[in-house]
Structure 1
Amino acid sequence: MTRTESRIDHSSRQATDDTTSERAAAQPRLITLILLSALAVLPVNMILPSLPKISAAFHADFALVNLSVAGFSIVTAFLEAIGGAISDRFGRRPVVLTALATFIVASIGCVLAPTIGVFLLCRMMQACIGPCYSVALVIIKETSDERRAASKFGYLAMGWALAPMVGPLFGGSLDELFGWRASFVALAIFGIAAFLLSLRELKVSKAPASAGRGNYLASYTLLLRSARFWAYTLCMACSMGVLYIFLGGAPLTVSDALGGSSAKLGFYMGLVPAGFILGSYLAGRYGARIPLGTILVIARLLTCIGLSIGLALSLSGMTEVLALFGPCIFVGIGNGLTMPAANSGAMSVRSDIVGTAAGLAAAMRISGGALIGSISGLFIARSPTIHMLFALMLASAVFALVAALWAAILDRHLSKPS
């Protein structure tokens, strides 16, 4: 090898090493992203136990106060759609820091609110924290290959699922000890901690070159024209639809089997989030080894099999509690496996607008699942039976399976050499 070739080879290796080191340095710790994603969903239902006291404190109708939960979810879905696109244009760090700063101010505003109107306004402002979950997904996607990203998404989803489980318990305990405002004080403190942590660990990164020149509508159009994006997103929406049907229908259809005990109902309904955490762990453990399409199909088959067993048991007249709730564990396991893989697939459609894809997919997942849950609620209200609940969940699960098969077929065609 000549001296010139040696110099060129050395320079090439050094450039590669510098790029790798720069990429590693720009990657925050996974635990930071898990905490960020958990904080994005913790405020959703942490205040549920405090709603009656909030209603009494402001002398407001309970239905109006309940907007602090339903309205929060609607605003979150909207902000998810635009938050990712903004992060494509201005970078991930500014979006996260702005969202956290707004969240802190809004949380303090909820504590100090003199009227129900001001309280609800500040509560809606708290929804600015929502896009932090999508941005956390994007950061992982940009610093990992596709399969490793799906694996890390699994661990991220564990924190995302655990927060809503412990949120009501934590919020209720604070309410019991210090009053309803204590929950918002705690959220403000969490927000400050997350802000300082993000300020330290999220490095300044350049937005994609094409993002600055394009416009948001064009980015959405590119994604909505992609069959792969639709396949992954519909799979997530229908999978969330199964969960929403269960959450809305179980109290109405299964309460009698539990003797009307709310405590027992809450315990057994917790089996689904527990299954989600297990599924997310499995996705984190094996997501880097198995193709995304295969994971999706396996996940949706598990859910369909579990719900088919539940439907068969309910039609046979089985009224044992575990016979009713046991099959529903597969809803959680299936969704825990589905979300990391489907998110990774949706964000791989266009490498130049990853943030837009993450935000739009999240918005479609939330709104699509809520729509399915609402429509199913009409059927359950007319026929509040256990087998109706299982039949509706199974129908949504089958649509999710079809979307998963579609995604797997599209991925296989894409991977074939042309």
Structure 2
Amino acid sequence: MLRPATTPPHLITLIFATALSVVTLNLFLPGLPAIAEEFDASYATVSLSLSGYFLVTAVVQLFAGPLSDRYGRRPVILGGLALFFVASVGCLRAESIESFLFWRVLQAAVASGAALSMAVVRDTVPEREAARRIGLIGMAMALGPMVAPLIGGLLGEAFGWRASFALYAALGFGLLLLVWADLGETNGSRGRPLREQMADYPRLLRDGRFWGYAATSALSLCCVFVVMLGAPTLGEAESLSQGAVGLALAVTPVGYIVGTGATTRLARHFPGPRLILLGRFISMGGMVLALVLAVTGVPLALYFGCFAAIGIGNGLTLPAAYSGAMSVRPELAGSAASLVSALNVIVGAVVTAAAGAMPAVISDRAGLALVLVLICTGALAAGLFTRRIVARTATA
């Protein structure tokens, strides 16, 4: 019989918790047409399984942090995994599109694992070491989008679309047991009522350092969302095969792995704001180069290769931004992690919707590169603001 853990978890447990939240997003996507066909629903209706998931994810992340600061990281993560397991079984056994969508959006409960994994890291190690470990966790966020759709597609071809949700249920149950046995409570300052915890959000939002870190994180991730939207559109305009588009989409995650690998080495020697700026300059340089290549008409492979700079830059920026946001008020680390994650989703959804409303722009090489340059400019400005206000606060 498994005994509940009483000590901080191994890093691999936090990596698995983060990875599950990522693969839940897109593992099943190759089966969307089959789901629409079986339930006699339009593709637009079935696609609510993605947009609805995003919406509930934002809500979960907003409440998971205060709940974990009040009751502890362990019970909130365990509760989220238990609900995820039940929701996965519900999707597996769904007999109507309404039932399927209901259970699908409840799978967003697993999102608490990603945000709170970072809070657990911040609970247990100093800020610079936290950035290094969050960088390692971030590798799971890069590998997931690369391999999950491939696995889902193979499962769907062999066993049907429900096989993806059977895998979800198995992974959720297995991780639930792992967290129960390995993740002891790490939040030593819990105890305040939930209403007071929710009141912490205004305290964070009034702190300029938090806004700097959060804005940098959100705008950096927007580049990834726009690439995910723009690469298929541009690929269609350029008559690329689905396989070629898939390779183009894999460039950014590969770059992210390189960036997070560098973070694990650099975070011990350089402060967070410096890593953030290094990442922002790399991303900006890559997108300016992409714009130049788009105008000069070089082969498309070289153009897409520039997108690796987005991944490398984010691999340097995001761990430091998350760690910094949670360090603004260490006693509110869970609330900060959840709020940053929710803002990432909300800002990403707005920017993606705006880019999607301009198909003629993002289906053009120069147009897509220009949009990315503009977003990178905003992220760089946020990074410069962060460095300035952190330095000013330190000398105050």
1:193 is paired with a residue whose SS is: helix
2:240 match? 260
Q: How does 1:268-417 map to 2 (within 5 A)?
A: 268-316=248-296, 318-381=297-360, 384-416=363-395
The one-letter amino acid paired with 1:272 is T
1:250 match? 231
Q: How does 1:1-400 map to 2 (within 5 A)?
A: 26-205=7-186, 208-209=189-190, 211-212=192-193, 215-257=196-238, 259-316=239-296, 318-381=297-360, 384-400=363-379
CA offset at residue 69 of structure 1? 1.4
The one-letter amino acid paired with 2:352 is G
CA offset at residue 334 of structure 1? 0.8
CA offset at residue 381 of structure 1? 3.3
Q: Deviations over 1:359-409 (max 9, x none)?
A: 000000111122122223333435742111111101000110111111111
Give the 3 Å change call, closer, same or farther, for CA 224–210 of structure 1 in structure 2.
farther
Q: Deviations over 1:288-335 (max 9, x none)?
A: 22110000000000000111111111122x140232112111011111
1:28 is paired with a residue whose SS is: coil
2:270 is paired with a residue whose SS is: coil
Q: Is the 8 A contact 1:75 1:124 kept in 2?
A: yes
Root-mean-square deviation over aligned CA pairs: 1.7
1:198 is paired with a residue whose SS is: helix
- Which protein shows a greater Rg? 1
Which stretch shifts more, 203-212 or 399-408?
203-212
**Inter-partner Cα distance in structure 2 for 1:344 and 1:236:** 11
2:95 is paired with a residue whose SS is: coil
Q: Is the 8 A contact 1:107 1:184 kept in 2?
A: yes
CA offset at residue 413 of structure 1? 2.2
Q: Is the 8 A contact 2:73 2:120 kept in 1?
A: yes
Q: How many pairs does the alignment contain?
A: 392
Point out 4+ residue stretches in structure 1 off by more than 4 angstroms: none
**Inter-partner Cα distance in structure 1 for 2:178 and 2:342:** 26
**What's the % identity of the aligned pairs?**
36
Unaligned 5+ runs, structure 1? 1-23
Which stretch shifts more, 66-75 or 203-212?
203-212
Q: Is the 8 A contact 1:254 1:386 kept in 2?
A: no
- TM-score normalised over the length of structure 2: 0.95
The one-letter amino acid paired with 2:83 is T
**Inter-partner Cα distance in structure 2 for 1:71 and 1:144:** 35
**Inter-partner Cα distance in structure 1 for 2:326 and 2:232:** 36
Which stretch shifts more, 267-276 or 247-256?
247-256
The one-letter amino acid paired with 2:269 is R
Q: Is the 8 A contact 1:238 1:372 kept in 2?
A: no
1:15 match? none
Q: Deviations over 1:18-49 (max 9, x none)?
A: xxxxxx97221001110111011111010111
Q: Is the 8 A contact 1:239 1:369 kept in 2?
A: no
- TM-score normalised over the length of structure 1: 0.90
